[in-house]
Amino acid sequence: MKDGMPNSAAGIIWVRCFTAREAWGKRRVLYRLDPDSAFAREARCEFIGQCADRKRIRFLRPLLRLHRDHIRSDTTAWGQVGYALVQGGQYRRAAAWLSDWRERRDIEPWVLTNVLVALQRTKRDAEALEVSRFALGLRSDHTTAQHQLWLALHDANRGVTTSARTTLDEQHYDSLPDFSKTQWTLVNAICSVAEAPPAGRRTACRDHCRELLKPEHALIRTSAGLSRGAKAGMPFPRLRAWWFFVSGGIPAAQGTSGVFRLVLVVLIGLLVVIALLSADHPREPSPVRPSQFPAAPTAVDLKRLRELQRECRTEEQLRRIVEPPRQP
């Protein structure tokens, strides 16, 4: 590598080797390579992908600082950085990094999938639909079906079940990846509930909710777009509330920050602890002295008091008769 640049494929193999051994210190060699060489280009793309898959997003910061212009000029590397940011949960940064997707002529549908996820996580659903529509005009790849099913979900929630059904019929369920299978199942559930007779809609909705809660469709509780689509597609308020409860309760998939969720969980925990402590140690009633609650005078007492008032001329004489003598 010092005397000359080897084959570009060697860059991919080199990066895979040192990342597999967790020898991340070798990444500093990548920073010193000629950024315009084919070897460096391939190694750079592979390194970005490995950082995304292995959750080492922090290692991308020096690379972006040193070779930012070269990465942005390469659509594949640019898309890999967007994928890495999405994998790392940095959705706002991903949306900002990928914001110029309309200006790229050689963009592919798989890159637009990361754009779509970043926009959904930041609650920009209208722009996400625009991304899917744009992706359908590109050359197909392994993510094209995903874009088609996103648009079908949008149609199903708007009540356009005919268009959504057409998209479902065009897909081969068994050949779809797991995420697209969950999309297909959700769109089919919403269409089935909408097409059911009014008397049977509640039962149909409940049956399809049970189907969507199976382990193979667990992605529906982590995807912001699928979670919102599911709640929007439930026609009955009680079932929507039930779905929200089983899909996580706290709207983690709707863009809520992790700090907010952590504070909320801590507050709930404190309230539970306070309630348990109060239940285990009930507050004892304060002792009451008998003199605080004297007995009400009876009719005989009142009669005797009036007789004593007539016999005694002064209040001092009355007090001597009524109060018992104090013991010395």
Model pLDDT, residue 118: 92
Q: Is the confidence at residue 116, as pLDDT, over 90?
A: yes
CA 221 to chain CA centroid, Å, is: 8
- Tell whether the torsion through CA atoms of 229, 231, 235 and 239 is positive or negative: positive
User: pLDDT-based confidence at 243, cuts 50/70/90?
Assistant: very low
Residue 212 neighbours by CB distance under 10 Å: 22
Alpha carbon distances (Å) from 251 to 87, 115, 234, 254, 268: 19, 21, 17, 5, 15
User: pLDDT-based confidence at 290, cuts 50/70/90?
Assistant: very low
User: pLDDT-based confidence at 240, cuts 50/70/90?
Assistant: very low
Question: For the ranges 182-191, 234-243, 273-282, which has the lowest average pLDDT?
Answer: 234-243
Full-model pTM: 0.66
Find the largest Cα–Cα distance for the chain.
131
Q: Is the confidence at residue 232, as pLDDT, over 80?
A: no
Residue where the block lists tokens 């050949």? 175
Q: What is the average per-residue pLDDT within 298-327?
A: 61
Model pLDDT, residue 152: 92
CA proximity to 7, closest of 35, 33, 43: 43
CA proximity to 2, closest of 50, 36, 39: 39
Q: What is the average per-residue pLDDT within 42-52?
A: 88
Q: Is the confidence at residue 275, as pLDDT, over 70?
A: yes
pLDDT digit string (tens) for 17-41?
888 888 888 888 888 888 888 888 8
Q: Is the confidence at residue 11, as pLDDT, over 60?
A: yes
Model pLDDT, residue 327: 56
Model pLDDT, residue 109: 92
Of 299 and 171, more confident: 171
Task: Give the integer Cα–Cα distance in Å for 197 and 188.
Answer: 16
Model pLDDT, residue 206: 83
pLDDT digit string (tens) for 56-99?
888 888 888 888 888 898 898 999 999 999 988 899 999 999 99
Task: Give the integer Cα–Cα distance in Å for 57 and 59.
Answer: 5
Q: Is the confidence at residue 258, as pLDDT, over 60?
A: no
